[in-house]
């Protein structure tokens, strides 16, 4: 039976401990502190509650020997001094024969002024009840006065911030007592409008890493922590802060990037390699990771556009043409050799165009020239000459000699193409 009870007690203890260690920021019975300070007292007539003197004198009433019973009850409670939900206290005789004084800081051997109450459930306020008695060491004490007063103050956040309310108490008799009241949340308690019913204890250990909001008592996680109890470490790399695929290492409330070449800074920001204006002669710089690229004007080349291009260096002009370089419009010019044309003089001019080879001759193109290939019996540049041998048929008779003559296409037609010479023997 004992082990069973012990196990149950340990279970309850573990549950309570887990709740406390979790921060305990939840709706619970609040803890309100009430500071009740007795300030001043006066009873100028030295009169008791029944109208008689505290101590009769030769010329009227002598001063009383005052002591006080204090009862703190629920708001709106009755006037019975036996119903004191929040405690009851009794002072010693404070002064002998004195009816006009300020209360001392010590009210009794175990009672100081102000009296501080701790109230675990604050709803509307509380009720103060005070009896004033004339102390008499030899006979029964006589009642001087009675006060009953309801206080409905909203608690302030702390004692230092709390407003001290001064209240003058007029009772059933002729006395007057001034009290000062402060109502505020106990340490680690928050929620002034709800009776200080939120508890938060700041911590920085395995159970949590947080402070408490000064006003609401809500947990405020330390940097690098998240979750209801701020006990889950934030992975700062989850947001991919490192650029250019750099490796991110999570740290507590921080991260580190292993930056590649060409980057710098916490997040590996790209270094602008174009910032130094490396491209010459009007080249346009394009920034890239760890390098730059120049888009050069067409007449320049090189990494920085620092080399002027000799467009004639590659011998673009063909067939013996002379390279003149580029003109003002960026067009390469070639001085072609005779017989060629085209941008690079790569086209042979067809000299046969417009040439008419006669007598069925055919034109053959050459370089800056043409040739008419004549049919048999014809010759000349355009095959305009008849070069057949007219004497081959021995047209001359009687031993005459035949001399062959060349006939051009523009020679008038004759009966024969040979001139006959008669030789007289």
* 394-403 pLDDT, tens digit each: 888 888 888 8
Instruction: List the domains of the chain with CATH numbers.
Output: 32-194 (2.60.40.3510), 203-233 (no CATH), 236-269 (2.10.25.10), 277-308 (2.10.25.10), 386-421 (no CATH)
Residue for token pair 């029964």: 140
Taking the C-alpha atoms of residue 256 and residue 289, their distance in angstroms, rounded to an integer, is 20
Asked if residues 101 and 38 have their Cβ atoms less than 8 Å apart, the reply is no
Taking the C-alpha atoms of residue 125 and residue 149, their distance in angstroms, rounded to an integer, is 11
* 326-355 pLDDT, tens digit each: 887 778 889 998 988 888 898 888 889 888
Taking the C-alpha atoms of residue 305 and residue 302, their distance in angstroms, rounded to an integer, is 5
Taking the C-alpha atoms of residue 417 and residue 370, their distance in angstroms, rounded to an integer, is 29
Sheet strand arrangement including 378-379: 378-379, 385-386, 407-408
* 154-168 pLDDT, tens digit each: 999 999 999 999 999
Taking the C-alpha atoms of residue 380 and residue 393, their distance in angstroms, rounded to an integer, is 24
Does the model's pTM come out above 0.85? no
Rounded alpha-carbon distances, angstroms, from residue 339 to 36, 137, 316, 342, 373: 124, 151, 17, 11, 20
* 352-377 pLDDT, tens digit each: 988 899 999 899 988 888 899 999 88
Rounded mean pLDDT of the chain?
Answer: 86
Whether pLDDT at 2 is above 80: no
* 70-108 pLDDT, tens digit each: 999 999 999 999 999 999 999 999 999 999 999 999 999
What pLDDT, on a 0 to 100 scale, did the predictor assign at position 14? 41
């Amino acid at each position: 039976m004992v082990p069973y009870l012990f196990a149950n007690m340990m279970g309850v203890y573990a549950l309570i401990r887990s709740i406390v260690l979790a921060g305990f920021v939840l709706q619970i019975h609040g803890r309100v502190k009430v500071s009740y300070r007795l300030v001043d007292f006066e009873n100028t007539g030295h009169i008791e509650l029944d109208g008689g003197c505290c101590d009769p004198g030769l010329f009227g009433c002598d001063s009383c020997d005052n002591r006080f019973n204090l009862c703190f009850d629920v708001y709106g409670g009755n006037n019975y001094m036996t119903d004191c939900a929040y405690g009851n206290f009794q002072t010693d005789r404070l002064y002998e024969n004195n009816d006009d004084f300020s209360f001392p800081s010590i009210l009794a051997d175990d009672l100081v002024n102000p009296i501080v109450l701790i109230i675990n459930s604050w709803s509307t306020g509380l009720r103060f009840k005070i009896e004033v008695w004339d102390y008499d060491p030899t006979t029964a004490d006589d009642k001087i006065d009675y006060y009953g007063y309801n206080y409905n103050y909203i608690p302030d956040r702390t004692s230092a911030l709390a407003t001290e309310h001064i209240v003058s108490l007029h009772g059933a008799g002729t006395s007057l007592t001034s009290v000062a009241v402060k109502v505020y949340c106990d340490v680690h308690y928050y929620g002034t409008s709800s009776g200080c019913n939120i508890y938060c204890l700041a911590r920085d250990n395995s159970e949590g890493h947080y402070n408490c909001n000064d006003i609401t008592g809500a947990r405020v996680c330390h940097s690098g922590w998240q979750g209801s109890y701020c006990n889950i470490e934030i992975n700062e790399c989850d947001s991919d802060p490192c650029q250019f695929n750099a490796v991110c290492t999570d740290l507590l409330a921080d991260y580190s990037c292993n930056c590649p070449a060409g980057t710098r800074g916490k997040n590996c920001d790209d270094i602008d390699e174009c910032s130094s204006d490396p491209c010459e002669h009007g080249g346009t710089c394009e920034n890239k990771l760890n390098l730059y690229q120049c888009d050069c004007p067409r007449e320049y080349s090189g990494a920085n556009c620092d080399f002027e291009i000799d467009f004639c260096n590659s011998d673009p002009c063909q067939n013996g043409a002379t390279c003149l370089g580029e003109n003002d419009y960026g067009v390469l010019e070639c001085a072609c050799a005779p017989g060629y044309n085209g941008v690079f003089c790569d086209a042979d001019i067809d000299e046969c165009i417009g040439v008419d080879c006669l007598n069925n001759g055919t034109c053959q193109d050459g370089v800056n020239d043409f040739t008419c290939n004549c049919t048999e019996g014809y010759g000349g540049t355009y095959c305009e000459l008849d070069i057949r041998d007219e004497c081959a048929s021995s047209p001359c008779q009687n031993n005459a000699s035949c001399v062959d003559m060349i006939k051009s296409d523009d020679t008038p037609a004759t009966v024969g193409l040979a001139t006959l010479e008669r030789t007289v023997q």
